[in-house]
Structure 1
């Protein structure tokens, strides 16, 4: 006679560990957590930790999900061992060791467990692909005395059905894909979506409250979320609005005179018309795009200067001597200059590394290596593919380095996104889309560079006319740079000018937008095509054939701190990439206008740092020339005086008094902190 199987050993799990893995909360041996696809605040998934139960826990899905799928979900999130029916050994009690999951074979669909209890299959809801092919079905079962229930099944490819559904999709997706312009109703269930569709409207829902990752069919659309009149309906409507934030313009519709526990079908059955439904939609206000959370309070008492102990940290650079790490900046260029391609090459060097013989880029060598993220709204995936292939002829992107370079082509990823916009009630806003991007960027390990290309596609604000809008965007970028430690660059355009750009000063004046946009960033680098005569001379010197726009000039036109301010010369190669050829030209000393512009930039940066120059004396420009960029350190005292006098005469710099002083001797730009009478000196600055 066979010995009877021994009773399985108890399985001991830590409720707090399981709750943390699921993003939920534990009270004693009971856990409440979000069901998959629900908002973080959802608590419809309940887990009871019971050592005597199989695997040590039981699951209750109050939103209607399949219990077997929910057990798999809990097991996966908590990284528990795979279930084995004859297991006798308890799993490890830590619940954090990742084991290799064994895929369970799909199970044939059966509704015997429902039919045997008196349930009757009443309706089948088909979930389809954009082409109309069935992806899975939701089957509704009703009972004379018990609550209705739902099960799901998917085709097995042989004319039969398997239990479960796989990844969720939007209901009636093929209709949404076929009509991309009409408003869309989101209902709590399939019955209501079908009822609205019978009236000629576009309507959708999600299976058992599980929202899919792909919501491109709703991107940029007007969506009306219909709330059922009960706590569950309120919760699901709120979850839908949260999930669609930044994706669609959403309106929550609470139907008038809707009975308790009623839905839109009940409302229509009570005699209300489609016209009344449309009136309710027209009267609704769009949901706020921001979360309206109060800003963290600021304590000034935490920032007494005695906290700054020891030697001040050295400036870390992304591009040596030119672009520091962890600052907001701009690359501005005239049209058809090639700035986006040059920025892509900068991202490649940051992610893949840069050899010692690589030519400079943006005026220096790339020294900050790590992960880079570029989000472009102009180039689609095909164009990005062509450019990456041209830059990465050795196929380095297929190795480990390829994971460190992220390029998001928005035209192929659901279209452009607004990161900043203006609301009639709330004023200037960071959108939820931007907040989600920021949250993702903060999770990137070793992030060094972020680029938004171009700025105008992301800032739906009057940047050209309103200085407040420019400053708002700059502050937002500065905070992102500070929180991630990465350099955050925006690509921007130059305005067309009647006269050609001849020097760095002209280039700064040509940057499109209000002065607040440039003033609010820590660094601005400008690029523009050389005039025809200079271009032909340069091509001849380099031994290359002249072509229009083949030679491009560039340099730093604004910096709040030390930055190499040289005028670089670029030549476009066969692939269209700008290659720095400055060293090969044997360039002579910079032109007078460029030296004066470099001086103005240095004066601005020194004053902003609380260490302004005077024209002469102990803090004079020549006497403190070690604080000036390299090209100015080499000039004579007489020429330094001449440059300062010319800048003063042109009004590019002014003499100003510090706060509490009467003598105007400190140099600043007209809009600088000392020039407006609010300047203070940094600790240790000579006076």
Structure 2
């Protein structure tokens, strides 16, 4: 009988230290890294740090290497003796410099001494910068006379030095892609190939060490060509790129003819092919077919979303309607019957697609500043009614020019009837229908999509929206996801119920919206419209010098917004075609109600504090002294009126005084729960102190 040697002594290794030694990544007691000689693609080695395992490690290889040899390599890199199965280790005490710890180590200063000591030399530095050109991290390439090239990464420490590692990945050469939104983008396997294509005038990118970022908006709606290396790893990476960009960009995977095993696009160009040959090859390539409409929930890790990934200056809010309706959010226009909301929304679509004159009156409380493709799906109007309305809105025939291709209006009664986009299935519960998925595929294929409207929501959501909060939340979540995938503002038209007493404030209007509160709470922006009561309507008509008639005057305003938005009541008057025209500016008694001004002031104070530039009540940073930062409806107020509103807001608890970190005096204004209010506010550069 064979006699086996005694089991080795336990060796306690630190996963983070093992990862650093082999150039890998640790998560818990697992380490992944490239096998010796491999520096591309996904990691080929999985290491489990386990004190009870022989020599403290279990090693698995996925690229054909001998696991015992790879384990020896890992141990050598960690400063440990080689592993020999069944033989007791010479080391009788656990290694002290690699003790097992469970807490995360602090950031380490960057060092490449371990590579230089092996004879490597630094060859190239590749900067990964954000859209503003700020370097987020660097990838350094090292070469050796006899060993395979290798790469390490570092990131600025903010003090002129560098820390080891890179943090969250981003795309390479983002500034170039952001500056040119028209040309196609080439995805290659390494920075060298991306730089080579860029030198020929192409837009090119890659990902660091094969790690795709979650943030891919720079490629949203773009034409993308994937150029893989000619080997099994290249095929795998090409497939991964197509999967990551599915639903984000139109992707073609290009096989470069004549490549030898393991060659890449740089080798192809070195062989005598030029930029024209590459363009011709890509022009004839078919895009990867669309998905099969099966819903999918992409996996994510909460650990990928630590706040240190949000680097650089926060992006500014983009608007569809200036200061009122944000771009790329899910929203709603709610109105009482016969107010003319559908006609007003059609005019909004016309201005988005055809452009808007600077002299045009506001629509939905502001100027339309975003232009692009708009899609309106209506179940209430047939082809004839849509034709009549478009003709009245477009007397000069702009729809017969190229701009007409950018405005799409689908009259469902003339296109086969309204279809359910959301319904309840006996087996699967609340679902998105196949009709909705097909529509989503078409919307996601449109370049420059800015606005989508479903009018009215009840025709497309065959669900108990008025009784079941889960139904409202389901529809809102579905619309929100489509908004994220298209980048467009997506609006639903909905109804308001009539109240026994006239609506006086925007809060009253919000309460009048039909359905459970989940329907409004689940959207980021809601606009309400309702007929003015008769006495107010008559005063408006008298002031404007026009004849009064029932339904002539309509009021509207933003009743829900997740960010800054003008919360004032707008006055609309119907013109001869029935279109609502904003006449607020022409009314001498157009000041918003006191409650709306208080809401607007609280929102402005909260937004300023969140941006790191809080107001004080008076003084150099006071509300009146800094009124250019206030919404338009507050800028025109006197100092005494602004001070009175601020006093009221403080007395009602809508606004609080707060002390900045390290200060004793509570002089800064914030909203309850804001960052300054809870003692965590930070000042931006240039903000008053």
Q: TM-score, normalised by structure 2?
A: 0.51
Aligned pair partner of 2:493 in 491, 494, 497: 491
Tell whether the 8 Å contact from 2:610 to 2:681 is kept in structure 1 after alignment: no
Q: Give the distance between the partners of 1:517 and 1:620, measured in 2 at CA.
A: 38
Aligned pair partner of 2:587 in 585, 588, 608: 585
2:390 alignment partner in structure 1:
388
Call closer, same or farther: CA 1:359–1:597 in 2, change over 3 Å.
same
Q: Describe the SS at the equivalent of 2:333.
A: strand
Q: Give the distance between the partners of 1:304 and 1:311, measured in 2 at CA.
A: 17
Q: Give the distance between the partners of 2:427 and 2:633, measured in 1 at CA.
A: 50
1:562 alignment partner in structure 2:
564
2:518 alignment partner in structure 1:
516
2:254 alignment partner in structure 1:
none
Q: Describe the SS at the equivalent of 2:408.
A: strand
2:553 alignment partner in structure 1:
551
Q: Describe the SS at the equivalent of 1:411.
A: helix
Tell whether the 8 Å contact from 1:615 to 1:667 is kept in structure 2 after alignment: no
| Residue 621 of structure 1, CA deviation | 7.4
**In the alignment, structure 1 residue 308 sits paired with structure 2 residue 307:** no
Q: Describe the SS at the equivalent of 2:549.
A: coil
| Residue 475 of structure 1, CA deviation | 2.1
Q: Give the distance between the partners of 1:413 and 1:519, measured in 2 at CA.
A: 32
Tell whether the 8 Å contact from 1:320 to 1:364 is kept in structure 2 after alignment: yes
Call closer, same or farther: CA 1:95–1:529 in 2, change over 3 Å.
closer
Post-superposition Cα deviations, 1:227-285, rounded to whole Å, max 9, x if no partner, equal xxxxxxxxxxxxxxx99xxxxxxxxxxxxxxxxxxxxxxxxxxxxxxxxxxxxxxxxxx
Aligned pair partner of 1:536 in 529, 535, 538: 538
Instruction: Structure 2: state its 5+ residue gaps.
Output: 1-279, 286-290, 661-665
Tell whether the 8 Å contact from 1:610 to 1:680 is kept in structure 2 after alignment: no
1:437 alignment partner in structure 2:
439
Tell whether the 8 Å contact from 1:379 to 1:411 is kept in structure 2 after alignment: yes
Tell whether the 8 Å contact from 1:327 to 1:488 is kept in structure 2 after alignment: yes
- Range 543-552 or range 503-512, more displaced: 503-512
1:377 alignment partner in structure 2:
379
Aligned pair partner of 2:477 in 475, 482, 486: 475
Tell whether the 8 Å contact from 1:523 to 1:559 is kept in structure 2 after alignment: yes
Q: Give the distance between the partners of 2:495 and 2:548, measured in 1 at CA.
A: 25
Q: Give the distance between the partners of 2:339 and 2:601, measured in 1 at CA.
A: 27
| Residue 679 of structure 1, CA deviation | 12
Call closer, same or farther: CA 1:639–1:509 in 2, change over 3 Å.
farther
Call closer, same or farther: CA 1:322–1:374 in 2, change over 3 Å.
same
**Residue correspondence of structure 1 range 450-465 to structure 2 within 5 A:** 450-465=452-467
Q: Give the distance between the partners of 2:391 and 2:403, measured in 1 at CA.
A: 15
Call closer, same or farther: CA 1:470–1:614 in 2, change over 3 Å.
farther
| Residue 523 of structure 1, CA deviation | 1.4
Call closer, same or farther: CA 1:668–1:311 in 2, change over 3 Å.
closer
2:328 alignment partner in structure 1:
326
Q: Give the distance between the partners of 1:656 and 1:466, measured in 2 at CA.
A: 40
**In the alignment, structure 1 residue 525 sits paired with structure 2 residue 527:** yes
Call closer, same or farther: CA 1:427–1:502 in 2, change over 3 Å.
same
**Residue correspondence of structure 1 range 118-517 to structure 2 within 5 A:** 291=294, 293=296, 295-517=297-519
Q: Give the distance between the partners of 2:653 and 2:431, measured in 1 at CA.
A: 35
Tell whether the 8 Å contact from 1:353 to 1:369 is kept in structure 2 after alignment: yes
| Residue 300 of structure 1, CA deviation | 2.8
**In the alignment, structure 1 residue 594 sits paired with structure 2 residue 596:** yes
Tell whether the 8 Å contact from 2:612 to 2:684 is kept in structure 1 after alignment: no
| Residue 623 of structure 1, CA deviation | 8.9
Q: Give the distance between the partners of 1:648 and 1:461, measured in 2 at CA.
A: 42
| Residue 466 of structure 1, CA deviation | 2.9
Call closer, same or farther: CA 1:385–1:609 in 2, change over 3 Å.
farther
Q: What's the RMSD between the two structures over aligned residues?
A: 4.1
Q: Give the distance between the partners of 2:631 and 2:429, measured in 1 at CA.
A: 41
Call closer, same or farther: CA 1:415–1:323 in 2, change over 3 Å.
same
Q: Describe the SS at the equivalent of 1:535.
A: helix
Call closer, same or farther: CA 1:649–1:375 in 2, change over 3 Å.
farther
Call closer, same or farther: CA 1:640–1:584 in 2, change over 3 Å.
closer
Call closer, same or farther: CA 1:481–1:646 in 2, change over 3 Å.
same
Q: Give the distance between the partners of 1:616 and 1:419, measured in 2 at CA.
A: 53
Q: Give the distance between the partners of 1:609 and 1:496, measured in 2 at CA.
A: 39
Q: Give the distance between the partners of 1:550 and 1:307, measured in 2 at CA.
A: 52
Q: Give the distance between the partners of 1:509 and 1:620, measured in 2 at CA.
A: 34
Post-superposition Cα deviations, 1:268-322, rounded to whole Å, max 9, x if no partner, equal xxxxxxxxxxxxxxxxxxxxxx8464x1101233333333333332222211121
2:129 alignment partner in structure 1:
none
Tell whether the 8 Å contact from 2:330 to 2:483 is kept in structure 1 after alignment: yes
Q: Give the distance between the partners of 1:679 and 1:575, measured in 2 at CA.
A: 55
Post-superposition Cα deviations, 1:622-652, rounded to whole Å, max 9, x if no partner, equal 7986664232355567655754676688797
Post-superposition Cα deviations, 1:39-82, rounded to whole Å, max 9, x if no partner, equal xxxxxxxxxxxxxxxxxxxxxxxxxxxxxxxxxxxxxxxxxxxx
Call closer, same or farther: CA 1:586–1:379 in 2, change over 3 Å.
same
Call closer, same or farther: CA 1:302–1:681 in 2, change over 3 Å.
farther
Q: Describe the SS at the equivalent of 1:406.
A: strand
Tell whether the 8 Å contact from 1:656 to 1:668 is kept in structure 2 after alignment: no
Q: Give the distance between the partners of 1:522 and 1:623, measured in 2 at CA.
A: 31
Q: Give the distance between the partners of 1:515 and 1:656, measured in 2 at CA.
A: 32
Call closer, same or farther: CA 1:492–1:666 in 2, change over 3 Å.
farther
| Residue 552 of structure 1, CA deviation | 1.1
Post-superposition Cα deviations, 1:138-196, rounded to whole Å, max 9, x if no partner, equal xxxxxxxxxxxxxxxxxxxxxxxxxxxxxxxxxxxxxxxxxxxxxxxxxxxxxxxxxxx
Post-superposition Cα deviations, 1:432-474, rounded to whole Å, max 9, x if no partner, equal 2212111110101111110111112222223223333322222
Q: Give the distance between the partners of 1:456 and 1:610, measured in 2 at CA.
A: 42
Q: Describe the SS at the equivalent of 1:408.
A: strand
Q: TM-score, normalised by structure 1?
A: 0.51
Call closer, same or farther: CA 1:383–1:299 in 2, change over 3 Å.
same
Call closer, same or farther: CA 1:338–1:651 in 2, change over 3 Å.
farther
Call closer, same or farther: CA 1:400–1:430 in 2, change over 3 Å.
same
Call closer, same or farther: CA 1:667–1:431 in 2, change over 3 Å.
farther
